[in-house]
Amino acid sequence: MVTGPRVGVLALQGDFREHLAVLAGLGADAVPVRRERELDLVAGLVIPGGESTVMDKLSRAFGLRDPLRARIAAGMPVYGTCAGLIMLADRVLDALPDQQTLGGLDVTVRRNAFGNQLDSFETDLAVPLFGGPPVHAAFIRAPVVEAVGPAAEALATLDGAPEGASGRVVAVRQGNLLGTAFHPEITGDTRFHEHLLSLL
């Protein structure tokens, strides 16, 4: 019997199943969220990787955008990976003309900052917040944080990654919001998900 907190994973598009598996493995009552009534029942949320433009359109089509913005503004803990980071960013440099974000993170991001699927890579990142060994991170058509506003905090930067990427911010937090440009759910490192659960 699951006794942990109920945590949702936005399941409109993207790799939501992987996040559900990680959260369930950590003892959470992990549930997919596609409707406002499902959002109302969770204490925290993961916004997965995928296509941020598609996720934006679907969140509006499913009537989730405004309820999501309201819960984020009210302090619900949320973790966004890759496209999820874009969805949480206040500013997107190369957004499509009609693209909207949920906002909440005082950061400026650039979509697909490292090129296409063939330019995906993995690297180890120092994350002082966690201490211990580095986080093994997978970057797949990943965004990058180009600017961190005064309300947000950088948690990790690229070092020794592809040429020109060094020093670029790839993990941030602000209050109960957490965002990474990479996919820890596919490399087996659960510390970001554990941190989300610690906020509940």
pLDDT for residue 160 is more than 60: no
In a domain, 156, yes or no: yes
Burial class (CB in 10 A: 0-12, 13-18, 19+), 44: buried
In a domain, 1, yes or no: no
In a domain, 179, yes or no: yes
In a domain, 130, yes or no: yes
Find out whether 137 and 184 touch, Cβ atoms under 8 Å: yes
- The average pLDDT across 36-61 equals 96
Q: What CA–CA distance (Å, rounded) separates 28 from 19?
A: 11
Torsion sign across C-alpha atoms 119, 55, 85, 18:
negative
Amino acid at 134: P
Q: What CA–CA distance (Å, rounded) separates 94 from 99?
A: 10
Quick: pLDDT tens for 51-109: 999 999 999 999 999 999 999 999 999 999 999 999 999 999 988 889 999 999 999 99
**What is the pLDDT of the chain when averaged over all its residues?**
92
In a domain, 62, yes or no: yes
What's the confidence (pLDDT) of residue 118? Answer: 53
pLDDT for residue 163 is more than 70: no
Confidence of residue 164 (pLDDT cuts 50, 70, 90): very low
Find out whether 134 and 143 touch, Cβ atoms under 8 Å: no
Find out whether 35 and 71 touch, Cβ atoms under 8 Å: no
In a domain, 137, yes or no: yes
The count of other CB atoms within 10 Å of the CB of residue 43 is 16
CATH of the domain at 129: 3.40.50.880
Task: Give catalytic residues, as residue numbers.
Answer: 82, 183, 185
In terms of residue numbers, what domain contains 159?
6-198
Quick: pLDDT tens for 8-37: 999 999 999 999 999 999 999 999 999 999
What's the confidence (pLDDT) of residue 77? Answer: 98
In a domain, 16, yes or no: yes
The count of other CB atoms within 10 Å of the CB of residue 114 is 21
What's the confidence (pLDDT) of residue 43? Answer: 97
| Number of structural domains the chain divides into | 1
- For 14, how many CA atoms within 13 A lie in the half-sphere containing its CB? 35
In a domain, 151, yes or no: yes
